[in-house]
Structure 1
Amino acid sequence: MAIGTSRLRIGLFSGLLYFVLSAIAINPVHSSGVATFWPATPVLLALLLARSRRKWKAILIGATIGSLLASSLFGFGVVNAIPMAAAKIGEVVVAIGLFNRLNVRRGSFGSLDRIWRYVVAVGIVAPALGATIAAGVTAMRYDLSFAGQWRTWFVGHGLSMVALTPLLSLLFSGATLRWWRGAARRTRGEAMVLLTTTAIIAAGVFGQNTLPLLFLPILPVMLTTFRLGLIGAAAAIIVLAMIGGYATLHGMGPANYVSDNLNLRLEFLQLYIACTVLTAFPVAADLSRRQSLYRRLRESEARYRVLADHSTDIVLSVDRSGRVCYLSPSIEPLLGKTPEALLGSRALELVHSLDRDIVLVAHRDAILAPQGTQIVECRMRVTSGALHWFEAHTRAVTDDHGVVSGTVSMVRDVTHRKALEAELSRAASTDPLTGLANRRAFDAALAHRIDAAVAGDRGGCVAIFDLDHFKSVNDRFGHDAGDHVLQSFARIARGVLRETDVVARLGGEEFGVLFPGADIAQAQFLSERLRATVAATQLRHGQASVRLTVSAGIASIDVSSSAAAVLRAADRALYAAKAEGRDRLQLAA
């Protein structure tokens, strides 16, 4: 019930308002065709923009009734009132439809694109359609030129909508009243001074017919726009339009330079007001956008400072040349230097010399690809003198034009992680019982030597050792003794062989030895030394004494051989050595 009453009230209000404004505009000029100045249209359009869609139907019905009454009583008669109402109300419906389609928001002119959409909707398309209907009616009713009536309607209605709709929509939406209530007393006083100044200058300009001083009111209007924003711009332009309109209707002001014809003077005044609106409103919208941006920027900076000042990570900002612009306080416990002491220094000086090249490349890549994040690991020497590993996530900082001004990095101490990774990597490639390399590491080293042989380097040789009668050791003395034997062989092998040789436990009691760059004679010599040392060593496990021998097969790494082929050749030689009595070496055929 309350909703229905609200719609009824808004319908009656819009109908009465449209009737009054139409009667005022029609009465002086009905004998000569369409009116040059038509305030009812921008008022109706602004009312629709300021109210919810649920009330549009009531507003349009009320305005249609008001238009029919005004045209019937003061204008074109009852018969012609219907098509004239269709022209007036129809152009408003077209304008509001284009507003929705072109995404034009009330009072928003933040870009030239939005200004263009607004002007096209209410200054060209909508009045052109209304002018076509109205010009046809007036041409037949008064035997006037269709083209002349079309131009008068198009110019008058187009200019009035462009000039007045933004101003009136702010008033009808209540934005002006809300601004006044929320403004500080000092701001209200400043608004009164600025609007009074605008009124005085406008009265001086439009109160004389001697000098063309239309540029002067622009100064207080723009000053008010800069100081008070969109609401101030609207209020100043309304003051200017009221004083200018009164003076023009009474034959005063610079508009008299245009023509003695009142219609042409009114068209000129509307053009002047429209240009002022399209100048001041985009500036006001842009200022509002910038103020909002600066406010968000200050809030973001405050949050950033809180995070940076209390984070254990290091926040580092550098300019394009690599000099430090900002360092968070977390740098001091690590490096023993305050952020202030490091400002202006080169960020690379903090990095270990071996890692400076990769850090420099990451900095340059961040500048060249500002949308991406560069991740790099480097070492820095901390207060204790130890080298710590750090991981830096670096991203470019750009200005409003997309130009890179520097980079910002989030740097984290990852020394513990790197140590854990190294331990995991070592564990993944190490036999846990003997501490030797495992099968995976041995295969990787062998593949590397084969690649070296293909590239022209001497590949080397491979030997496979197997502990003789190892099963009997486990059976007689237990698995603990067997483990002790395996560990003893590993210890002997590391002591006898070269540092460059790779010794690995391939599985069970089988071991592999890679001799990088050795020929078959060198490999045989080294393998024989290992066999003899093992045979001469008496191992003790508790009260037990264990004597151990090994057999081995040796194969050379050939350019045409694969890793599997080399291992098969060495394995066949090993079985041949065992078949001949064990505790001996055998070369692959």
Structure 2
Amino acid sequence: MGQLNAFVHADGSLSAEAQHWLQSLPGTAYVTDSAWWLGELHFLADSISTLGQRQAADYWSQPDRWLAQIPEPERWPLLEQLQQALARGDHAARLSYVVERQDGSQCEVDDSLSILRNADGAVVALVGFLLPQKIEPVASESLSLQALLDYSDDVIMALDEDLNCCDVAGNTQGMLGIAVASLRSSSLFGLMAPEDGSRVRRLLAEGAAEATSKMLELRLRHRDRGYRWFEIHFSPCPLPAALTLTSSEMPGWIAVARDITQRRQQSLQWDAYTATDELTSALNREPFMGLLSHAFSSGDATARFTLIVFDVDHFGDINAAWGREGGDLVLSCIGEMCRATLKERFSFGRLEDDTFALLLSGKSLQESAAIAERLRGRFASTRVEFHGHWLAFSVSLGVAERRADESAEALLARAEAGVKAAKRNGRDRVQQAP
């Protein structure tokens, strides 16, 4: 198991200190071998009885009882999903499923797993945390979040209603670049991306009113690497007066945070790949704006970005004179020329029928305006052959450089204002945005 911490004995069993702490959590913690509930249990919290309506001793003696309570049509895809995560070399997995209780009722469960591997990558244990998708507030005389297990990649926090961190455990250094002591007594809102704050407040207020847990995806600032994406499971739980930093009737929260930056990046790349416009090979509007927002949120706050937006002058007249086939030929030509002319690193999007955008990184406003002018000249001098005729076209371009803390939508609006100004001034020109 690699380096064992103070919670783990040499034979892999958990110390009495670890078991006492895990029993106190407002959820059900468990530890199994690599076979999950088909193998051997190393630890199981007594609170599983509230989920499965069986005593923990029943599962200790026969762990597959838990699997048997998952309906068969759901059970086998679930095992396959976990097996795929183990085979891929993942260090974490999140499962959602239903368990059938002895009284005939059902309970929907979120199962967050840390997959523990040795130095060779082999799976040595699975550490899971079970939470019902709807829970009642849990009274607690004491709540001490010291350290779950040093080898866990998740972070567990006790938060008051303003998301001030009353206590914390887990890999804060790896996930946020800060020590546990630095996070304790600070507000999660202070680390959160500003545009995520209002959404999080609203959703957590709904969760507090309904006494339900919330699974949210949001961005937190890493000390050295800009913003990173996290999946955080907020469960309402009144905190002892000795821990809370504020006084309110609203509940506190137990929050389990997991870094999903890589997953978001892979998802974004896949979405971009599958959402490419076939005619021009440009990204469609939604994935392009997603790429733009992601570039702003995940990079250095001081990183330089410029946006060039342009559309075809009198495109309606081209379609009227030559039909849709002629218009499509012009648009296809624009896609080819953008890729051939621009050697700089850029992203190319099609925002509307004849409106396009180019995102450039590391360029000043003046440098991007020069690139836009070069592109404008190339378009203006191009003739497209169409059934023995030569079609000519021009474009009007707007250029804007991102301002500090400016959103993707605001930058786009300024670049589009530049396009409108270029058209007012005679078309076939470049206009820097105000």
Q: Higher strand fraction: Structure 1 or Structure 2?
A: 2
Q: Higher helix fraction: Structure 1 or Structure 2?
A: 1
TM-score by length of 2: 0.40
Structure having the higher Rg:
1
